[in-house]
Amino acid sequence: MKIIQITDLHVGRADEATMNVDVRSNFLNILEKVKAANPDLLVISGDLCFDRPHVTIYEWIKSHLDTIEIPYLVIPGNHDESTMLAKSLDLNGLLKNEEVYYLKKWDNWTCLFLDSAVGKMSDEQYTFIENALSNATKNCMVFIHHPTAKVGVPFMDNKHAFKEMEKIQGVFSKFDGNLNIFCGHFHVDRIVQFQNQNIFITPSCYVQIDATSNNFKVDHYRIGYREIELLEDRLLTSVYYL
Ligand SMILES: [Fe+2]
């Protein structure tokens, strides 16, 4: 099973200034790569919208996703609004009290898709995670917009981190095995090993952030995506830049 993850598209409204980055072209270019790679699944891990969410942005993205004939799944980021995203992308069935979270199983893999859009999660979502992990296969993975541990990127770690790290780490650490967690949000390419968790941070389709700076600073403008191949007893993953 081959999955491609793209993240942090930050597409603006038709008339919105996007800091001199042609975010719509970026998305269309990355979609061409996805089409050529022909994965079994495309996952978009949040921040579809540039700054503030808008129905027309989701509709524009969906109109292009629907042309590539590759199944796709979406979770929201902090620049999305979960209810608006679910309604605009026809994910109504996945919406639970203003959060979009769900579970998929393929062969011997379990995959959780979580909603960290507001930087924290409801008690219901934590209960869902606990139940899902207690019934999960040994091979288990998670998609969540926010990294769930500090990753050594000072600007994002200090100013924009997930607000309930200890709480979610407590839930993840109870899983009897290694959890592979795929995130976006930080606009960097990084892998962090923490407790039983391998945290893979995928670069953005917008700009990459300088991982050493205390303040917002663009590192570079090349956009990237992640490929994940699920095998019987391991996964292989790489980041590719356009
Ligand atoms: Fe982002």
Q: Ligand 1: distance of its center to the CA of 78 in Å?
A: 7
CATH class name, domain 2-241: alpha beta
Q: Which long-range contacts (CB under 8 A, 24 or more apart) does 126-133 make?
A: 126/167, 126/168, 126/171, 128/101, 128/103, 129/168, 129/171, 130/171, 130/174, 132/103, 133/171, 133/172, 133/174, 133/175, 133/179
For residue range 25-69, list pLDDT tens digits in order: 999 999 999 999 999 999 999 999 999 999 999 999 999 999 999
Q: Ligand 1: distance of its center to the CA of 26 in Å?
A: 14
Q: Ligand 1: distance of its center to the CA of 68 in Å?
A: 24
Helices in 106-207 by DSSP H: which ranges?
Answer: 123-134, 154-159, 165-173
Q: Band the pLDDT of 92: cuts 50, 70, 90.
A: confident
Helices in 38-164 by DSSP H: which ranges?
Answer: 55-65, 82-88, 123-134, 154-159
Q: Ligand 1: distance of its center to the CA of 8 in Å?
A: 4
Q: Ligand 1: distance of its center to the CA of 232 in Å?
A: 32
**pTM value?**
0.97
Q: List the domain boundaries for the chain.
A: 2-241
Q: What percent of the chain is predicted at pLDDT more than 90?
A: 97
Question: Average per-residue pLDDT in the chain?
Answer: 96
Q: Ligand 1: distance of its center to the CA of 47 in Å?
A: 5
- Assess contact for 26 and 32: CB atoms under 8 A: no
Q: Band the pLDDT of 107: cuts 50, 70, 90.
A: confident
Q: What percent of the chain is predicted at pLDDT more than 70?
A: 100
Q: Band the pLDDT of 216: cuts 50, 70, 90.
A: very high
